[in-house]
Amino acid sequence: MGLEEKIAEKARANGWHVELRKKHGNRIQDLVLQRGGLVLVIQVKDLSSPAGPRAVTQAKKDFDEYIKHLLEKKLGIMVVPILVSNRISERAKRRALSYGIRHYKPNELEKILK
């Protein structure tokens, strides 16, 4: 039994609703635990070495995708992250694209808002 299954077993025993390796949006979250109004989106790393920055990024992406899933699929709300700036570097454009962040110049945003 892997670490994910062990955590899931303990959570169930303590009254948590458990979703184990279920896809929400475009990502598969290792564990999503819910009890009452609290939801835990858990990234599990069962490695002999310490978890590094990549694991933190993976946990953040899993969380973001789960929140997006809840808002869009369950509540019918679309939330769009936007960066407004007159200029943006190529590196920032690539990062924004990978994070799903849209970039607009102030005048472009003004047109969108009309």
Note the pLDDT tens digit of each residue in 26-79: 788 899 999 998 888 998 887 777 788 888 888 888 888 888 888 888 788 887
The predicted pLDDT at position 87 comes to 87
- How many whole angstroms separate alpha carbon 3 and alpha carbon 52? 18
- How many whole angstroms separate alpha carbon 72 and alpha carbon 83? 21
CB atoms within 10 A of CB 87: 7
The one-letter code for the residue type at 86 is N
- 78: tokens are 């679309």
In percent, the amount of the chain with pLDDT more than 70 equals 100
Whether pTM exceeds 0.75: no
Helix/strand/coil (H/E/C) assignment for every residue in 44-84: CCCCCCCCCHHHHHHHHHHHHHHHHHHHHHHCCCCCCCEEE
User: What is the average pLDDT score of the chain?
Assistant: 86
Highest mean pLDDT among 9-18, 21-30, 41-50: 9-18
